[in-house]
Each structure stands twice: as structure tokens, then as C-alpha cells.
Amino acid sequence: MGEFIKTNINEIGGEVLTEEHKETTIIPGMANPLLKIDHIRKNFGDLTVLDDITVNVNVGEVVVFLGPSGCGKTTLLRCINGLETIQAGQIVLHDEVISGDKTKWSDVRQKVGMVFQSYDLFPHKNVLGNVTMGPIKVQGVSKADAIKEATALLERVGLPDKIYAYPRQLSGGQKQRVAIVRALMMHPEVLLLDEITAALDPEMVREVLDVVLELANDGMTMLIVTHEMEFAQKVSNRVVFMDKGNIIETGSPDDFFTNPSTPRARQFLDMFHY
């Protein structure tokens, strides 16, 4: 999961990614990607919401999925994490198919973490309880080690004084940072982020996005669904633009935001005054 936990990092709040993050990206489609989304199709009844989607994701790559509401972005992340089944194609992690009928999703979800728009914190547990429960109960980490790691992570996302607070005592931005820490505590190889700022007031958005920028600088492999265009341009190595369950175009953030190759992408960006 990169060096977010293991090394000293700059204070959360940097505005731009380091050039190192951009320069060390592996060209998409190279051999042995970490995650392969291979010609998957997802139906809800007679409605096809994902139509022959293929995306390869390399170690340390940040792929941002953009597109209008209802285009299939969130459904794609939910398929990767086993929250939705697929009707065709396959999803492969480290050359192992993880989308089959016999997949043990409890194991997969330790490798593929997900942070939701709605936080999904346990209201009856304090922050420490929320973030340490997974490592202790699922991975067998000792309580002392889990508390030590949680304390360090909460410090680094600016929440050292909230360790014993309950979700009802936190702002939306604080809850989302706790949700990110909870995912990181499982040491995932891939992190899925689904519209993590959509439910936040504007002043809270920055504090959450800064944490994700630090993760990107640290080399965390991430798939991100967002409507924050400025953030998408800063954090991504690659942009995948979707519409009506299809991938319309894909490219570098510089190319996509300055010179999109399709009229549909241009129309979408014009809504955000790009």
C-alpha cells in the first residue's frame, strides 16, 4: 500500500502531486498489470449498465473514472469489490480470477479496499473501534499493534484528537478521513474510492482530497470515481471517460482535459467550464 504508513510524510495539505508520481507511472496496458478488468458486462434485468468494459491497472497507478451520473462508474467499482455480480467477462487480480462463483470475497476485500460516499462507519463504535476491528477480527492482528498503527494513521490524516470520538461527533470530512484510515488498516493492494466527497460541504472537500493526494504521491494504486474535475486532473495518471455503460475514451489527464478526442467528452467538460 505504498509508504503512507511506513515513512515520514509531509503534512497533509499539499496542493499538487510530486513530479515523481507522474514520471514513474507504468504505461497502461503493459504486461502483468495488477488488476485486469476484462470485457465485463453487468445487467440489471434487461438493462445493460456495463457493456464490454476492459481496463488494465498497473501497480502505483491512479485511474480516475469520469462521466455523467448513471453511466456505470459506481457499478464498476462495486463489481470489482464483489458487491455486484457480473454477467460476462472476468476480473483478475495478480493473475487470479476474483469474479468467479467460488470467489471468497472476504479474502479479496482485504486486498481491494473500498471507501464509500456514505462513510458506513459503525455508529456504536468510536473511531478507534471502527478502524481496528477489521485487522483484529479478520487478520488476527494483536490489539496493541492495531492501536499503534491506527494512532499513527489518524495522526497523519489530522485526527489524533478524535481517536475516542463517535461518528455522531464528527463532521462529514472527519468521517470520510476515518473511513479512509479504516480501509488502509487492512493494507490493501488496490483502493477503490467512490464519490468520497459527494456528501460533503465544500469547505470539507479539501481536507479529504488532500489525504488522497498524499496516497497518490505515496504510490497507492487507486481507482477513483469523482465529479471533482480539478482533483481528477491533479491526482490521476489516467482518465477513463464513460457514458451509458461504455468507455468513450481514455487518456492522460493532460490530453483529456485540454484536448478530449470525442465530442461527448468535450460536451461533458464544457459543463465544468473546462
User: pLDDT at position 18, please?
Assistant: 46
User: pLDDT at position 28, please?
Assistant: 45
Domain membership of residue 20 (yes or no) is: no
Domain membership of residue 211 (yes or no) is: yes
Domain membership of residue 26 (yes or no) is: no
CATH number of the domain within which 210 lies:
3.40.50.300
Domain membership of residue 6 (yes or no) is: no
Domain membership of residue 18 (yes or no) is: no
User: pLDDT at position 31, please?
Assistant: 55
Domain membership of residue 42 (yes or no) is: yes
Domain membership of residue 9 (yes or no) is: no
User: pLDDT at position 202, please?
Assistant: 86
Q: What is the largest CA-CA distance in the chain?
A: 55
Those residues of the chain that have pLDDT short of 70 are: 1-31
- Give the predicted TM-score (pTM) of the model: 0.88
User: pLDDT at position 15, please?
Assistant: 41
What pLDDT, in 10s, does the model give residues 197-215?
988 888 889 999 999 999 9
User: pLDDT at position 22, please?
Assistant: 46
Query: Could you tell me the CA-to-CA distances from 90 to 42, 104, 249 in Å, in that order?
Result: 11, 15, 21
Rounded Cα distance, 128 and 147, in Å: 7
What pLDDT, in 10s, does the model give residues 57-79?
999 999 999 999 999 999 999 99
Q: Which amino acid is at 57?
A: V
What is the number of domains present in the chain?
1
Rounded Cα distance, 73 and 56, in Å: 15
**Domain membership of residue 185 as a residue range:** 33-270
Domain membership of residue 184 (yes or no) is: yes
